[in-house]
Amino acid sequence: MTRWTGKDLPDLNGRTVVITGAGRGLGLITARELARAGAHVVLGVRDAGKARRAVAGLPGAFDIRSLDVADLTSVRAFADSWRGDLDILINNAGVMDIPGTRTADGLDLQTTTNYTGPFVLTNLLLERVTDRVVHVTSQLHRQGKIDVADLDWRTREYNGMSAYQASKLAVVLFSLELQRRLTAAGSPVRSVLASPGIARTSLAAHSRSNVINRFTFLTNDAERGALSVLYAATQDVPGNSYVGPDGLGGLRGHPALRRQGEIGLDQDMAARLWDATTELVGKVAPLAPVTAERVDWQNSITVLKDRRQ
Ligand SMILES: NC(=O)c1ccc[n+]([C@@H]2O[C@H](COP(=O)([O-])OP(=O)(O)OC[C@H]3O[C@@H](n4cnc5c(N)ncnc54)[C@H](OP(=O)(O)O)[C@@H]3O)[C@@H](O)[C@H]2O)c1
């Protein structure tokens, strides 16, 4: 069996890619490899100086832009400043098993970083996207439980790992519903999922679950973990594919088409989640001053909804 690696990337000259949270970890490796293959890579990051230092000296074309995916004002500003086409959007930024904290918009930080912020970013940029949106999820989506009435952990007791699992399931359901809407609208754009398996990065450094990183025979190094993202971003895979490592349990190995958990294929749940998320984000919006800019944003978030027949 041939095992896909970064050497198999196609020529990406002329392609523009946005990757969020690309100043370190899997995002940085993905950015490096895509740029090496010729893509113009835009890193959407919280710390531009750190990202600039991270890509200094690497071959290829990089553009560093400020983006905090957990801050909807920052997300809007990033999307508003975008000009021209965007071939590939990679929603990579993420946090895992962090304490319950509220964002500037009053939303749950972990849920917003992993799911709600990328949901808004994707909707705002969607009309610019020509090829695909890649959502970085996790095998832990299989343990996820979503309460559409309390997406944002207001009434339930918050638990860091449960919130992570739920956010990664939300990402899987987001991809499902996004693909359904794209297909219904006759769009050629694809929504694709990537799971790195378990890759040794600093994601879980503070978490009890980090203990698994000691068992290196069970896990991918960061370079191999990033291959799933690279494969999902560049290979000719069907819409709503789930790309993950080919080894036991989808935890390590080289990228292959795998199957998301049954729970991630629940179309009814995906539609309800989309509506609940739109409603949640709509509640945040009135906190910001009413400007023409915001009206545009609200219109664009429902753009696919309006096209649905
Ligand atoms: N490693 C794994 O085993 C594994 C498994 C399954 C899924 N994943 C997913 O893979 C993705 C990348 O994780 P990783 O392993 O590379 O972890 P990592 O090394 O901790 O990197 C996380 C990245 O996300 C960025 N980030 C966090 N919050 C952000 C925000 N509000 N706005 C913008 N960027 C933000 C971080 O930027 P700063 O430098 O500014 O903090 C960092 O660049 C995540 O979505 C994660 O859930 C990883």
Looking at residue 296, what is its pLDDT? 45
Q: Are 70 and 103 in contact, with CB atoms under 8 Å apart?
A: yes
Tell which phi-psi region holds residue 265, choosing left (phi > 0), alpha (psi between -120 and 50) or beta: alpha
Ligand 1 neighbour 35 (Cβ under 6 A)? no
CATH number of domain containing 46: 3.40.50.720
If one counts every other C-beta atom within 10 angstroms of the C-beta of residue 84, the result is: 6
Looking at residue 292, what is its pLDDT? 36
Residue nearest to atom 19 of ligand 1 (CA): 25
Residue with tokens 């918050």: 158
User: Cα of 186 to ligand 1 centre, how many Å?
Assistant: 32
Extract the residue ranges of the chain whose pLDDT is less than 50.
286-309
Looking at residue 295, what is its pLDDT? 37
255-258 and 61-66 as β-strands: parallel, antiparallel, unpaired? unpaired
Residue 309 belongs to a domain: no
- Mind listing the pLDDT tens digit for each residue in 98-155? 999 999 999 999 999 999 999 999 999 999 999 999 999 999 999 999 999 999 999 9
Ligand 1 neighbour 101 (Cβ under 6 A)? no
Distance CA 177, CA 175 (A): 6
Residue nearest to atom 17 of ligand 1 (CA): 203
Residue nearest to atom 36 of ligand 1 (CA): 21
Residue 306 belongs to a domain: no
Residue 305 belongs to a domain: no
Looking at residue 129, what is its pLDDT? 95
Residue 294 belongs to a domain: yes
Please confirm, yes or no, whether 115 is among the known catalytic residues: no
Ligand 1 neighbour 203 (Cβ under 6 A)? yes
- Mind listing the pLDDT tens digit for each residue in 277-287? 999 998 765 32
Number of domains making up the chain: 1
Looking at residue 217, what is its pLDDT? 74
Residue 197 belongs to a domain: yes
Ligand 1 neighbour 245 (Cβ under 6 A)? no
Looking at residue 37, what is its pLDDT? 98
The residues, any chain, with a CB within 8 Å of residue 281's CB and separated by 6 or more, are 72, 116, 119, 120, 301
**Which atom of ligand 1 approaches the CA of 229 most closely?**
10
Kindly name the residue from 115, 164, 231, 242 that is annotated as catalytic: 164
Looking at residue 211, what is its pLDDT? 63
Note down the domain range covering 157. Answer: 6-300
